[in-house]
A and B are shown apart, each in its own frame.
Chain A
Amino acid sequence: MGMTITEKILCEHTDLKEVHPGILINARVDIALGNDITAPIAIAAFKKAGGRNVFDRNKVVLVPDHFTPNKDIDSAEQCKVVREFARDQEITHYFEVGEAGIEHALLPEQGIVLSGDLVIGADSHTCTYGALGAFATGVGSTDLAAAMLTGEVWFRVPDTMKIVFQGKLGKWVSGKDLILHLIGTIGVDGARYKAMEFTGETVETLGMADRLTIANMVIEAGAKNGIFVPDEVTRDYVQMRAKRPYRFYTSDPDAMYADVLNIDVSSIEPQVAFPHLPSNVRGISQVGDVQIDQVIIGSCTNGRIEDLRIAAGILKSRKSASHVRLIIVPATREIYRMALKEGLMEIFIDANAVISPPSCGACLGGHMGVLANGEKAVATTNRNFIGRMGHPGSEVYLAGPAVAAASAVLGRIAGPEELIGNR
C-alpha cells in the first residue's frame, strides 16, 4: 500500500520500512524549537532529568520572540534562562533581539528548516513549515525537553485529509482567505489529530508566502500538521537558503486518505473570522458595519514581505482613520530591511502607522498593542479567542493583509475593493 508524504517523512525518520495511520512510532527529529515562553519549562525538565548536553547543538533552535524585547522583569528573567542555556550548550541557532524575528517566519527564511525535515517546536504554529514539504508539528515543553535529551519524539501516525483547491483566485484573495474559508467549512476541530495535505491546480499558482500562511493555520482546524508536496516554487525558495542537504517527498498515487475535500476557490471573497473562534468566518460582503479601534498587520501568519507589500499597496497616499491605531509588525529583520529598501516603511509612516520590532507580543496580548475592554481589532494574526489580544471584553477579527489595510483606512471592517476597486 502506498504512503502519503506525511507518512513517508515520518517513516524515513524511524528504522521502519513503512508506517500507516494509527501506529505509534519513535522518530528522529531534524530540528527541535523553543521560544522564551516554552523553552524555560523545557530547560528545567531537561536539567531535572539529568541532561548535560543537548543531543545536537545544531538541531536545537531557540528564538526568544514572544515577550521580546523584554516587556517586564518576569519576561526578562525567562529570556535570561534561554540565553544562558544557549550559551552553555553552544546552540548554533540562537537568535538575540536584533538578529531575531518571529520564529516561524525566521526559520524558513534562514534555511534552518528544509524540505523533508521532521520538525517539532514547543509552539503550536510550528506546523507552518509544512509549506516546504516538511513534517512539522507543535508540541509542549516536556516533549521539547525529551527531544533535546534524546533527539527523538513519539508520534501516533496521523490519518491524512486531502484538500484539493481548484479554480482561479479573485483579485484580493490570498492564502489567508483560503485557510479561513477552509476552517469556516470544517470547524476548529474539523481536522483534529489529522494531517492536512494541500493539493490541486490553485496550489500550483500559490507563492511560498501564501503556502506558509495556509500551513500556519492548520492548527486552528485541530490538525497535527499541514503539508504541501514540494514543486518548483519550493525549489526556488529552498535552494538559495539551504546550507545542508534536503529532500523532496511526494505522495504515492495509491496512498490512502481518510477524507478528500474539493474546494472551488473561484467564488471565495476575502474572509473575516468574527470573535471568538477562527471558524466563525464570513465573506467580506456579509460583514456589516463593524467600527474598529486597532489594526495589526504582522505575526507568523501574515508578517512576511509579501503581506507588507499588499498592505502598502493599499495604504499608499492614504491615512489610517483618526480613531484607528495601525500597528505594522515586520516578522523578521530581513523583512524589516526589505520593507525599508522598497520604501514600504515610508508609506506606513505616512499612513500614521507605528512600526513594531519583530515580536509575537501583540498577537497573544502580551505587549505592543494590547486591547482594552470593549475595543475591536482587525488582525492578520491567527487566533481570536476571548482575551487573546488583551481584555476578555475585547474583540479580534481575523483577516488577510488586504482587508486589514483597507479597514485601517475606512475605520471599519471593509474590503480593498470598496476602497480602490477591482483593478
Chain B
Amino acid sequence: MRLRATAQAVLGKYYLYIFIVIIFFVSCFLSDKFFTVRNMENILIHNAVIASIALGMLFVVISGGIDLSVGSVVALSSTALAIFIQAGLPLPLAILLTFCVGAGVGFMNGFFIAYTRIAPLIVTLASLSLIKGAAYLLQTGYGRRLYDPVFDFLFASGSIYKIPLPVIYMILLYLIAHFILSSTDFGKNIYAIGGNKQASYLVGINVRGHLMAVYALCSMLAVVGGIIVSARLMMGTARIGEGYELDAIATAVLGGAALIGGRGSAFKILIAAFILGIMSNILNLTGVAIYYQMLMKGGILLVAAMAQEVEWQS
C-alpha cells in the first residue's frame, strides 16, 4: 500500500523527466541517425520556435486564459516583417516594428478579455481568423523573399560555439520567464489572478492591466517564433503557423500548466517542448506516417493529463 503511494508520488512529480529520458534512449535505439550532431541541431532549432510560442502560452494559461491566435500571429509577423524589410527599413527597426505589431494584437486580445465578459477562448478564436486574414491580405502574390545576410545569421544559420543562435534566444527567454514567474510581483500576480481573480481584484491588484500585459507578451513571443521560421524559409509568408496554437497548448499541458489557471512553471514547459520535439523527430526519422504521429501526440497528451491528476491527488 505504501509502495503504491510512494510510486504514485514519484511518478506524479517526476513524470516529465522520466518521460524525456525514456524517449531519448528509445530514440537512440530506434534510429542510428538520431544521436548525431546534425539531428540534434535540427531538434533544437525546430524546438526553439515551438518552445517560444509555448512560453507565451504558459503565461496566458497561468492567468486562467488561453490564446488561440498565436498561430495566426506567427503568420502575420512573417508577412509584416517582409513588408518592413522590403520597404528598405534597417533590420533592427523592421524587427522592432514587427514586435510592435505583435504587441498590438496581444493588447487587442487582452483588451477584450479584460474589459468584456467574453471568454478568452472566444476572443482569441475570433482573433485567429482576423489575424490570419490580415496576414494573407498583407501578403501579395507568392511569398515575399527575404534575403538579408545579417537576418539570416541572427535567426537561421548563426551559432556561437556550435549552439545555434535561436536556441540561445530560447534559453535566454526561458531564464527570464522563470525569473519573472518565480521572483517578481508581476509573476505572482499572474498566478493570483489565475487562482482567484476576484480576490486579486479585492486586494488591489490591477487585474485588467495584468491581463492585457500577459496577452501582449504571448503575442510577442509568437512573433519570436514567426521571425525564426521566416529566417529559415528565407521568406515572409502567411502560410505558416498553422496549428501552432494546438502544439503550444499541448506543450503547456504536458508541462504541467493547468488550463483552469494558477499553475505552471517555465522549466517544465521546456522539457515538455523537447519531449514533443524529440517524438516528432524520431517518428520522422523512422519513417512513421504522419497519421501515427498525430495519434501518438494525442495519446501523450492524455497520458500527461492523467499523470497530472495523479500528482494533484497526492
| Binding partners A and B | no
Measured CB to CB, the residues of B under 8 A from A are none
